[in-house]
Chain A
Amino acid sequence: QSVLTQPASVSGSPGQSITISCTGTDSDIAHYRFVSWYQQHPDTAPKLLLYEVSHRPSGVSDRFSGSKSGNTASLTISGLQAEDEADYYCASYTKTPLSTLILGGGTKVTVL
C-alpha cells in the first residue's frame, strides 16, 4: 500500500503540458523539502528526474519541473513528447524516527 497518492494515469497530446499530483501528509511532503520524482520506461531502472521538489540533475530536460504546496507535490511536463511516455513515481523523505523513503503508487503517462 503506497503512502503517497498519485493518479493512476494521465494523458496528453504532443506539445501539451500535463501535471501529475502527489499527495502526502503533514509528516512527509508538507514537513520536508525532500520530494523527488522518478521516470521509468518499460524494462529499465528508474531515473531521477527531480530532487528537493524542483531541482533537476544534470542532463534532465528543463521541460520537467516541480512544485509543492502544503502536502501535495506536482510534476509538470511541458511540450509533451513521445519519449515522455513512461511511469512516474514521486517520493518523499520522512523520519520514523530514522530517515525513511516513502513512494507513490506511480502514474502512467500516455502520449496520445
Chain B
Amino acid sequence: QVHLVQSGAEMKPPGASVKVSCKASGYTFTGYFIHWVRQAPGQGLEWMGWINPKTGGTNSAQKFQGRVTVTKDTSINTVYMEIKRLASDDTAIYYCARELPTTPNSLDSWGQGTLVTVSS
C-alpha cells in the first residue's frame, strides 16, 4: 500500500527557512514523480513544483523559482521541500503527492499535509 508520510508542523519567524520531508513507502520510489502543492488557510490549492526521484530533475512554478528547492534522498525514499525567506503569506498546509507514471500531473496518492505557520 502506498504511503506518503510528511514531517510535523513547523512554526517559523518571517525571513527564516523551513524544510518539509515526505517519506514514501509501498512502491518503487524512483518510479514516480513527487509534486508539492500548498493550501493557505481557507484558500484553494496551489501547485509548487515536482521532482523526478530517479534523476533529481525538478521544475517549479515561476513564483517559487529561486526560493523553493526540492531534493531527494534515494537511500531513505524521502523527498524534501525547502522554502527560503519565509513571509506571512507562506502560512499554509504543504502536501506532497505522487504522480501517476503514465499520466502527467495526475496525483494519485497524497501525504497527510504539513502545516507551516510563519509568525513573529
Say whether A associates with B. Answer: yes
Binding site for B on A (CB under 8 A): 2, 34, 36, 38, 40, 45-48, 51-52, 57, 87, 89, 91-93, 96, 98-106
Closest to A95 in B: B104
Are B45's CB and A93's CB within 8 A? no
Q: What are 9 A-B residue pairs whose CB atoms fall within 8 Å in the complex?
A: A34-B106, A36-B105, A45-B110, A52-B106, A99-B50, A99-B104, A100-B47, A100-B59, A100-B105
Given A34-B106, A52-B103, A100-B59, A89-B113 contact (CB < 8 Å):
no
With beta carbons under 8 angstroms apart, the residue of B35, B44, B107 that contacts A105 is: B44
A57 to B110, CA, bound (A): 14
A-B contact count (CB 8 A): 68
User: Contact: B95 with A46, CB < 8 Å?
Assistant: yes
Task: State which of B45, B100, B103, B108 has its C-beta within 8 Å of the C-beta of A103.
Answer: B45
Known contacts A45-B113, A99-B50, A101-B35, A57 near B44 by CB under 8 Å: no
Interface residues in chain B, defined as those with a beta carbon under 8 Å from any beta carbon in chain A: 35, 37, 44-47, 50, 59, 61-62, 95, 97, 100, 103-108, 110-113
Q: What is the predominant secondary structure among interface residues of chain A facing chain B?
A: strand
Which one of A89, A96, A99, A100 contacts B45 once the chains associate, using CB atoms below 8 Å? A89
> What is the distance, in angstroms, from A84's C-beta to the closest C-beta of chain B?
18
Q: What CA separation (Å) do A3 and B112 show in the bound complex? A: 25
CB distance from B106 to the nearest CB of A (A): 4
Q: Are A99 and B59 in contact (CB under 8 A)?
A: yes
Q: Is the beta-carbon distance between B45 and A38 smaller than 8 angstroms?
A: yes
A6 to B113, CA, bound (A): 24
